[in-house]
C-alpha cells in the first residue's frame, strides 16, 4: 500500500514494498525508501530485543548478558542500560525493536514528514506517548512513528483522538522528541496570539493571548533545553532569545503592543509589583511543563528602551548530574574525589559565571550525601532542593549573608559545608577556619584557572600559611558544546593550524567536526561537556604558597606534577570525538 500526503490532492510516494533491496553485511536484505526501512526477514516474536541486538551485530552476547544481569539487580530495562553505557545508540535500538516486532523502521531525518498529519495530535499527547503521526497511508490511516510499539494502549488512544486508524513504524526516541519540538514553533504561537489579541482590543493588557504566548515561550524553552530566556524590548518590538548549550539565539519577536502585557504577565507569575517599572525586581515561580515541575528565577530590567526581563530555567533533571555525565575522568577525577571525600579541608571550584561550578559541587554532594553525614549549604539563591541536605538561602534584607550564615552553620554540627560563593574577605576567612577545624568545605571562586585561586585568596587578606593548610585541591572548569553524535564527520586538522591557534601538538589531528542535522537543530552540537583542570595542593605547591611564589611558578609546578590545563583537557576530548577544536578555542580563550 502506498503512502500518501494530504490534505489536498493525494500524492503517492513509493511504499517500502516498492523500494530497492539493499544487501547488508551479514547477508540480510533490506528495502529502503523515503527513510523507511523494511527488513525482508520479518519479525522475531520468540526473541527479546536484546537477542535481536546481538543478532544484528550491535553488541556481543557476553556484553549484553552483563548488562542484563546489571539491569536485573538495578530494576531497570536492559535496553536503557545498553544506551546508558553507550553499547548501542538510539537509532540501533529502534532498528532492533522494529526487527523484533516485525515492523518498519523510519529514519525521521530522511523521511519527509507531513506536518499536517503531525498536527493531528497535540504536543502534550505526543510527548506522553512518545509517538507522532508523520504521514498518511490512506485517507483513513495515519503512519504513526513510535519509540515503543508494544504500547498498544497508546495506539488505541491516538486512534480515538484522531478518528483515524494507525499503522505503526518504529523511530528513535531522540528523533521523535526533536520532531515534537518542531511541531509548533514560537513564530506560529506569536501569530496566533496577535490575531486573538486583535479580537480582544480594549481589554486589560494581560489578555488571554498574552498568557498563551508566555506559556508557549516557557514550554518551548524547556523543550529545547534552554538555560535562560531573554525578553529584550526595542523601539518597535520585543526580541525573545534562548540560551541553549551556552549560546544565545533569537527565537521570536513580539509586537510592540504586546510588550507591556508580556512583561506584566511574567511579573505577576513571579509575585512582583507590576506597577513598579523604575527599578529591577527579582522573583521566583514554579510551573508545570509537560508534567515536569520547573523552577524559574526571574529578573526584570528597566532598560532605556523599556522594561525587559530574563528568566533562568532551573531544571533539576539537568542539574542533578553525576561526575561521569559532567565529563570528569582519569587522573583529574581521582584527584577531585580524593580531596572532597576527606574528613576535612577545602575544595574550591573556579571559573566564570555559567561555567557549571555549582553543578559540579552538586555532583560531589550527591556522592557525599549519606545518612552518617550532616551536610549544610548556604546559597544565593538555593537553585535546586536536594533531599537529605539542609539548604539555607541568602537573605540580605533580613541580615543573612554568606558570612553570617556560615557562622550559624558552624554551630549546627555540620560534617560537610557548601558555600555558594566566596565573594569577600570575611566569608573567605570563616570558610578557611572551618576547613582547618574539622569540616569539609566546598565552595566556588571567580578565577580564570586553578593556580589563580591562591593569589585571589591572598588578595582577600587570607594568610598564605592558612591557605596552604586548608586547601586540598582547586578545580578550574569550563563548559564546551558536545558534537552531535548523529551528524559529526571525520576530519584532519593540520598541525600548523593547531599551533597557530595556541594548541601544543606534535602532528596533524584526526578528529570530528560539526555538520548539523534535525536532531541538533542544524547546529552540529547537542548538549555540553565539562573541561576540567584539577590542581592538587601537594607539599611542594604548599611550600610555594607559603613563600608567596608567583602564580606562574605555582602553575608550572602543578603541570610538572600532572595537572592538565583546560586546553589540554579540551584537546583530549577533541581527540575522543566529543567536541570540536573550535569549541575548545572559544571557551578556553
346-391 tens-digit pLDDT: 999 999 988 989 899 999 999 999 999 999 999 987 877 888 999 9
What are the residues whose beta carbons fall under 8 Å from the beta carbon of 484, sequence distance 6 or more?
514, 515, 516, 517, 519, 520, 523, 524, 525, 526
Other CB atoms within 10 A of residue 226 CB: 24
Query: In the predicted model, what is the mean pLDDT of residues 177-200?
Result: 64
What's the distance, CA 463 to chain centroid?
40
- Torsion (CA) 280, 281, 284, 290 in degrees, nearest 10: -50
- The beta strand positions in 315-415, using DSSP E, are 345-350, 375-379, 390-393
Q: b/e map of 69-83 (b: 16 or more CB within 10 Å)?
A: eebeeeeeebbebbb
DSSP state of 47: S
Give me the pLDDT at residue 391, please.
Answer: 93
pLDDT tens readout for residues 239-291: 999 999 989 988 888 888 888 899 999 999 999 999 999 999 999 888 887 66
What is the grid cell recorded at 225?
A: 533545553
Kindly indicate the confidence band of residue 11, based on its pLDDT and cuts at 50, 70 and 90.
very low
Whether residue 23 is predicted with pLDDT greater than 70 in this model: the reply is: no
Kindly indicate the confidence band of residue 518, based on its pLDDT and cuts at 50, 70 and 90.
low
Whether residue 24 is predicted with pLDDT greater than 60 in this model: the reply is: no
Q: Which of 367, 398, 397, 392 minimizes the C-alpha distance to 379?
A: 392
Query: In the predicted model, what is the mean pLDDT of residues 559-577?
Result: 93
Whether residue 189 is predicted with pLDDT greater than 70 in this model: the reply is: no
pLDDT tens readout for residues 434-447: 999 999 999 999 99
Give me the pLDDT at residue 205, please.
Answer: 67
Give me the pLDDT at residue 294, please.
Answer: 86
Give the residue ranges of DSSP H helices in 102-245: 115-118, 123-129, 152-162, 173-183, 186-199, 208-223
pTM of the model: 0.72
Whether residue 16 is predicted with pLDDT greater than 70 in this model: the reply is: no
Element (H, E) at 295: strand 292-303
Q: Which of 243, 357, 221 minimizes the C-alpha distance to 290?
A: 221
DSSP state of 377: E
Whether residue 208 is predicted with pLDDT greater than 90 in this model: the reply is: no
Q: CA 372, CA 430: separation in Å to the nearest integer? A: 24
| Under 8 Å between Cβ of 160 and 184 | no
Q: CA 527, CA 248: separation in Å to the nearest integer? A: 14
Give me the pLDDT at residue 322, please.
Answer: 86
Other CB atoms within 10 A of residue 447 CB: 20
Torsions phi, psi for 495 (to 5 deg): -60, -40
**172-181, 373-382, 471-480: which is most confident:** 471-480
Give me the pLDDT at residue 9, please.
Answer: 28
Is the model more confident about 457 or about 209? Answer: 457
Lowest mean pLDDT among 40-49, 251-260, 292-301, 465-474: 40-49
461-467 — which CB contacts under 8 Å span 24+ positions?
461/425, 461/428, 461/429, 462/425, 462/428, 462/429, 462/432, 464/545, 464/546, 464/547, 464/548, 465/546, 466/432, 466/433, 466/436, 467/432, 467/545
Q: CA 240, CA 249: separation in Å to the nearest integer? A: 9
Give me the pLDDT at residue 412, please.
Answer: 93
SS3 245: coil
Lowest mean pLDDT among 376-385, 451-460, 528-537: 376-385
Q: Which of 384, 395, 386 minimizes the C-alpha distance to 368?
A: 386
Q: Which of 544, 529, 548 minimizes the C-alpha distance to 477?
A: 529
Whether residue 45 is predicted with pLDDT greater than 70 in this model: the reply is: no
Kindly indicate the confidence band of residue 517, based on its pLDDT and cuts at 50, 70 and 90.
confident
| Under 8 Å between Cβ of 127 and 143 | no
Query: In the predicted model, what is the mean pLDDT of residues 331-342?
Result: 94
Kindly indicate the confidence band of residue 26, based on its pLDDT and cuts at 50, 70 and 90.
very low
pLDDT tens readout for residues 120-176: 888 788 888 999 999 888 888 999 999 999 999 999 999 999 889 999 999 999 899
| Mean residue pLDDT across the chain | 85
Q: Which of 277, 264, 276 minimizes the C-alpha distance to 206?
A: 264
pLDDT tens readout for residues 380-438: 878 778 889 999 998 888 889 899 999 999 999 999 999 999 999 999 999 999 999 99
Cα dist from 524 to 86, 108, 253, whole Å = 20, 17, 25
Whether residue 96 is predicted with pLDDT greater than 80 in this model: the reply is: yes
Cα atoms in the 13 Å half-sphere on the side-chain side of 537: 25
Amino acid at each position: 500500500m502506498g503512502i500518501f500526503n494530504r490534505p489536498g490532492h493525494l500524492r503517492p510516494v513509493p511504499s517500502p514494498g516498492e523500494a530497492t533491496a539493499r544487501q547488508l553485511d551479514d547477508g540480510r536484505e533490506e528495502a529502503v525508501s523515503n527513510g523507511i526501512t523494511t527488513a525482508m526477514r520479518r519479525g522475531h516474536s520468540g526473541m527479546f530485543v536484546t537477542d535481536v541486538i546481538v543478532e544484528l551485530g550491535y553488541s556481543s552476547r557476553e556484553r549484553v548478558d552483563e548488562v542484563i544481569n546489571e539491569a536485573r539487580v538495578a530494576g531497570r530495562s536492559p535496553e536503557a542500560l545498553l544506551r546508558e553505557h553507550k553499547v548501542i545508540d538510539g537509532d540501533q535500538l529502534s532498528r532492533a525493536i522494529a526487527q523484533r516486532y516485525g515492523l518498519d523502521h523510519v529514519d525521521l531525518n530522511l523521511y519527509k514528514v507531513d506536518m499536517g498529519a503531525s498536527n493531528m495530535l497535540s504536543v502534550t499527547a505526543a510527548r506522553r506517548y512518545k509517538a507522532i503521526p508523520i504521514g498518511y497511508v490512506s485517507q483513513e490511516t495515519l503512519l504513526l512513528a513510535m519509540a515503543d510499539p508494544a504500547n498498544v494502549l497508546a495506539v488505541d488512544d491516538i486512534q480515538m483522538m484522531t478518528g483515524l486508524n494507525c499503522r505503526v513504524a518504529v523511530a528513535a526516541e531522540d528523533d521523535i522528541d526533536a520532531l515534537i519540538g518542531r511541531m509548533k514553533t514560537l513564530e506560529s504561537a506569536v501569530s496566533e496570539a496577535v490575531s486573538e489579541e486583535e479580537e480582544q482590543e480594549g481589554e486589560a493588557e494581560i489578555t488571554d493571548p498574552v498568557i498563551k504566548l508566555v506559556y508557549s515561550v516557557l514550554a518551548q524553552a524547556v523543550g529545547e533545553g534552554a538555560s535562560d530566556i531573554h525578553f529584550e524590548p526595542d523601539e518597535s518590538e520585543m526580541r525573545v532569545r534562548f540560551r541553549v548549550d551556552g549560546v544565545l539565539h533569537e527565537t521570536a519577536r513580539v509586537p510592540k503592543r504586546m510588550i507591556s502585557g508580556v512583561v506584566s504577565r511574567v511579573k505577576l507569575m513571579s509575585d512582583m509589583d507590576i506597577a513598579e517599572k523604575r527599578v529591577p525586581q527579582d522573583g521566583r515561580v514554579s510551573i508545570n511543563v509537560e508534567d515536569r515541575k520547573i523552577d524559574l528565577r526571574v529578573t526584570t530590567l528597566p532598560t532605556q528602551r523599556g522594561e525587559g526581563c530574563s528568566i533562568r530555567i532551573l531544571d533539576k533533571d539537568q542539574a542533578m548530574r553525576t561526575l561521569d555525565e559532567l565529563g570528569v575522568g582519569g587522573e583529574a577525577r581521582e584527584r577531585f574525589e580524593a580531596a572532597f571525600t576527606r574528613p576535612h579541608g577545602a575544595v574550591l571550584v573556579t571559573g566564570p559565571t555559567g561555567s557549571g561550578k555549582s553543578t559540579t559541587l552538586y555532583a560531589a554532594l550527591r556522592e557525599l550525601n549519606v545518612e552518617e553525614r550532616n551536610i549544610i549549604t548556604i546559597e544565593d539563591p538555593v537553585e535546586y532542593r536536594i533531599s537529605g541536605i539542609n539548604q539555607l538561602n541568602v537573605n540580605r534584607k533580613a541580615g543573612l549573608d554568606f558570612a553570617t550564615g556560615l557562622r550559624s552553620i558552624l554551630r549546627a554540627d555540620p560534617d560537610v559545608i557548601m558555600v555558594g560563593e566566596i565573594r569577600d574577605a570575611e566569608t573567605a576567612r570563616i570558610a578557611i577556619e572551618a576547613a582547618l577545624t574539622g569540616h569539609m568545605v566546598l565552595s566556588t571562586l571567580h578565577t580564570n584557572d586553578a593556580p589563580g585561586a591562591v593569589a585571589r585568596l591572598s588578595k582577600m587578606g587570607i594568610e598564605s600559611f592558612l591557605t596552604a593548610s586548608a586547601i586540598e585541591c582547586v578545580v578550574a572548569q569550563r563548559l564546551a558544546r558536545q558534537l552531535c553524535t548523529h551528524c559529526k564527520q571525520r576530519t584532519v586538522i593540520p598541525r600548523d593550524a593547531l599551533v597557530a591557534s595556541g594548541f601544543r601538538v606534535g602532528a596533524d589531528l584526526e578528529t570530528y567536526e560539526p555538520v548539523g542535522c534535525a536532531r541538533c537543530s542544524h547546529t552540529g552540537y547537542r548538549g555540553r561537556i565539562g573541561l576540567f583542570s584539577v590542581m592538587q595542593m601537594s607539599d611542594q605547591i604548599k611550600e610555594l604558597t607559603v613563600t608567596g611564589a608567583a602564580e606562574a611558578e605555582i602553575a608550572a609546578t602543578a603541570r610538572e606534577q600532572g595537572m592538565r590545563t583546560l586546553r589540554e583537557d579540551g584537546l583530549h576530548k577533541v581527540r575522543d570525538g566529543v567536541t570540536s577544536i573550535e569549541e575548545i578555542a572559544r571557551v578556553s580563550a
